[in-house]
């Protein structure tokens, strides 16, 4: 490498750019990012300047896909859109874009052009110095944060930190406040048993702060509605949801959240109507397909609950009831199942890393007795599991436990995965389901054998994780009476007795 080339590279390494932010190809779902970013460009979604950012994000994706010419074109369009949007105030917002252009030119072998873009960044930094060489401009912190937030859930904590740094420099900036609120929504665990009032929670406080600056931001409004609803503040949540539908009813980013909110409130038909409408504009959205599948599952399960059992069918037949009614019932159930299957397949096809959809699809295959396909999907999910959040891991362990309990009839494996979900101590609805399943298994086993030490051990574990230490002690004492040589029961019992002292 020549001295000139070496000098250029050392200058490039000092630039703030997506090429220097350690964005690893293996962390990114390039196919899904391509679909989402192209949709946002085509529909013009987001706040002021968001489309220009989307061009830059998509440019980096194209670079990773070995399409440098398209990447260069997209970065040029990003520069153009930034200038259109911000005019004379564009320079600080182009620092990262020029950094990307400098790196892309370098990688394509155009060192002269790379040097030109590098100089543009250096000139801007001379013109607009920061308080310290280690401090970045808030525009750079902001773009870095949005990039992390957009590219991968693995980078959400980094996004939150960058938004905070931007807010330290510009505390009243609407974009940084909105971004920080969204980052908190994606990183802060929700605990229905928290001792804090809803208004004291950081995520709700930040959403309200962001809405003070952006009172008609539909994304923020619907996120606040979802969070308030989770903490039983239904009246305000309902009002916010209705306001969102008035402000921005055709925005796919907004409608998908509103549809989720409506489904959670039991308004499933209304949710389906919204999702089907947004699917006409956003047919490549894995999230929309998955939400539709969840709605159709609700419809199917509702029909299952009304399905007559064999005895009822026999009585109806003897009473002269029309057998066509039962047949129509079955056909309707099958219709919802077929719709579920279609939309789950589409969600997984569009986003192969979508573990929620993959687990739901696996259980559907299990219901159809296609165990090999179900197991194949679950194995793919389990490989990706270590990188997922605690709440997602709980959901997957619950699903895999149900798979083994109800379909493979391997109760020991079901217990293993329900226990793994339980030991992830975030108190989500899935955590409660894991606890409930373990209790049911233990109680059923004890009804058959009152000296089943493992069943008492399971009840002790659940009671301990639920915070009921005295019940846990009693259960572990019973477990030891049945299995006196089990060290794990003795260890748990000693620990609990010390805590009670």
Convert the pLDDT of each residue in 195-234 to its tens digit: 788 889 999 999 999 999 999 999 999 999 999 998 889 8
Domain limits at 84? Answer: 1-129
Spatial distance between the Cα atoms of 178 and 156, rounded to a whole number of angstroms: 14
Q: What are phi and psi of 100, to 5 degrees?
A: -65, -40
Spatial distance between the Cα atoms of 435 and 443, rounded to a whole number of angstroms: 12
Residue 166 lies in a domain: yes
CB atoms within 10 A of CB 301: 11
Spatial distance between the Cα atoms of 190 and 169, rounded to a whole number of angstroms: 29
Is 154 exposed, middle or buried, given 0-12, 13-18 or 19+ CB atoms closer than 10 A? Answer: middle
Please check whether residues 165 and 236 belong to one and the same domain: yes
- pLDDT beyond 60 at 321: no
Is 343 exposed, middle or buried, given 0-12, 13-18 or 19+ CB atoms closer than 10 A? Answer: buried
- pLDDT beyond 90 at 376: yes
Q: What is the pLDDT of residue 346?
A: 95
Please check whether residues 339 and 366 belong to one and the same domain: no
Q: Which residues of 404-434 are buried (b: 16+ CB within 10 A; e: fewer)?
A: bbebeeeeeebbebbbbbbebeebbebbbbb
Q: Using a CB cutoff of 8 Å and minimum separation of 24, what contacts does 477-481 make?
A: 478/453, 479/453, 479/454, 480/453, 481/453
Spatial distance between the Cα atoms of 136 and 165, rounded to a whole number of angstroms: 9
Please give, one letter per residue, the 3-state secondary structure of 313-369: HHHHHHCCCCHHHHHHHHHHHHHHHHHHHHHHHHHHHHCCCCHHHHHHHHHHHHHCC
* Sign of the Cα pseudo-torsion (101, 105, 110, 112, in order): positive
- pLDDT beyond 60 at 312: no
Residue 223 lies in a domain: yes
Residue 501 lies in a domain: no
Spatial distance between the Cα atoms of 495 and 489, rounded to a whole number of angstroms: 10
pLDDT 10s digits, 129-156: 999 989 999 999 999 999 999 999 899 9
Residue 135 lies in a domain: no
| Cβ-based neighbours of 124, under 8 Å, separated by 6 or more | 91, 92, 94, 95, 98
Residue 452 lies in a domain: no
Please check whether residues 14 and 103 belong to one and the same domain: yes
CB–CB of 458/442 below 8 Å?
A: yes
- In 3-state terms the chain splits into helix, strand, coil percentages (rounded to 5) of 80, 0, 20
Residue 107 lies in a domain: yes
Number of separate domains in the chain: 4
Spatial distance between the Cα atoms of 185 and 159, rounded to a whole number of angstroms: 12
Please check whether residues 286 and 381 belong to one and the same domain: no
Please check whether residues 199 and 86 belong to one and the same domain: no
pLDDT 10s digits, 150-179: 999 899 999 999 999 999 999 999 999 999
Please check whether residues 90 and 109 belong to one and the same domain: yes
Of 381, 407, 424, at which residue does a domain stop? 424
Please check whether residues 335 and 369 belong to one and the same domain: no
Please check whether residues 329 and 366 belong to one and the same domain: no
Please check whether residues 162 and 60 belong to one and the same domain: no
CB–CB of 262/241 below 8 Å?
A: yes
Higher confidence at residue 146 or residue 1?
Answer: 146
Instruction: Determine the average pLDDT of the residues in 259-286.
Output: 88
Please check whether residues 215 and 281 belong to one and the same domain: no
User: In degrees, to the nearest 5, what angle opens at C-alpha 192 toward C-alphas 191 and 197?
Assistant: 90
Residue 98 lies in a domain: yes
106: domain CATH number is 1.25.40.10
Q: Which two tokens stand for residue 320?
A: 């002269």
Q: What is the pLDDT of residue 310?
A: 45
DSSP class of 91: G
Q: Which two tokens stand for residue 296?
A: 């159709």
Please check whether residues 364 and 282 belong to one and the same domain: no
Spatial distance between the Cα atoms of 126 and 318, rounded to a whole number of angstroms: 91
Please check whether residues 26 and 47 belong to one and the same domain: yes
Residue 471 lies in a domain: no
């Amino acid at each position: 490498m020549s001295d000139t080339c070496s000098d250029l590279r050392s200058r490039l390494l000092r630039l703030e750019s997506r090429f220097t932010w350690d964005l690893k190809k293996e962390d990114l779902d390039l196919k899904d990012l391509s679909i989402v970013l192209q949709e946002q460009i085509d529909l013009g979604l987001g706040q002021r300047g968001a489309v220009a950012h989307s061009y830059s994000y998509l440019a980096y994706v194209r670079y990773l896909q070995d399409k440098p010419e398209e990447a260069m074109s997209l970065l040029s369009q990003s520069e153009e859109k930034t200038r259109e949007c911000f005019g004379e105030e564009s320079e600080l917002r182009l620092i990262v874009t020029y950094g990307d252009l400098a790196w892309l030119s370098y990688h394509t072998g155009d060192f002269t052009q790379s040097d030109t873009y590098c100089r543009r960044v250096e000139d801007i930094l001379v013109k607009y110095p920061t308080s310290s060489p280690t401090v970045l401009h808030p525009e750079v912190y902001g773009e870095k944060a949005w990039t992390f937030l957009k590219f991968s859930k693995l980078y959400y904590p980094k996004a939150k930190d960058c938004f905070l740094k931007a807010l330290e420099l510009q505390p009243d900036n609407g974009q940084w406040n909105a971004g920080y609120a969204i980052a908190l929504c994606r990183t802060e665990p929700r605990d229905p048993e928290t001792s804090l009032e809803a208004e004291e929670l950081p995520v709700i406080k930040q959403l309200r702060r962001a809405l003070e600056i952006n009172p008609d931001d539909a994304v923020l409004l619907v996120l606040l509605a979802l969070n308030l609803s989770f903490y039983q503040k239904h009246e305000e949540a309902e009002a916010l949801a209705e306001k969102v539908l008035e402000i921005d009813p055709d925005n796919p980013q907004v409608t998908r959240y509103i549809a989720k909110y409506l489904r959670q409130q039991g308004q499933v038909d209304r949710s389906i109507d919204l999702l089907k409408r947004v699917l006409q504009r956003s047919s490549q959205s894995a999230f929309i397909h998955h939400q539709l599948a969840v709605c159709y599952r609700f419809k199917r399960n509702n029909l299952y609950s009304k399905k007559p059992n064999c005895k009822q069918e026999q009585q109806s037949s003897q009473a002269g009831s029309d057998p066509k009614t039962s047949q129509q019932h079955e056909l309707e159930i099958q219709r919802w199942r077929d719709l579920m299957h279609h939309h789950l397949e589409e969600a997984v096809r569009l986003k192969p890393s979508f573990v929620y959809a993959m687990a739901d699809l696996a259980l559907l295959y299990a219901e159809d007795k296609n165990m090999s396909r179900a197991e194949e999907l679950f194995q793919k999910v389990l490989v990706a599991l270590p990188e997922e959040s605690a709440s997602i891991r709980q959901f997957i362990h619950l699903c895999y436990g149900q798979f083994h309990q109800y379909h493979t009839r391997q109760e020991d494996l079901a217990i293993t995965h329900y226990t793994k979900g339980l030991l992830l101590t975030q108190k989500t609805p899935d955590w409660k389901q894991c606890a409930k399943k373990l209790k049911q298994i233990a109680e059923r086993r004890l009804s058959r054998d009152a000296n089943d030490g493992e069943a008492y051990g399971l009840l002790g574990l659940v009671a301990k994780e639920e915070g009921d230490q005295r019940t846990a002690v009693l259960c572990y004492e019973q477990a030891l009476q049945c299995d006196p040589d089990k060290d794990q029961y003795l260890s748990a019992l000693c620990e609990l007795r010390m805590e009670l002292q």
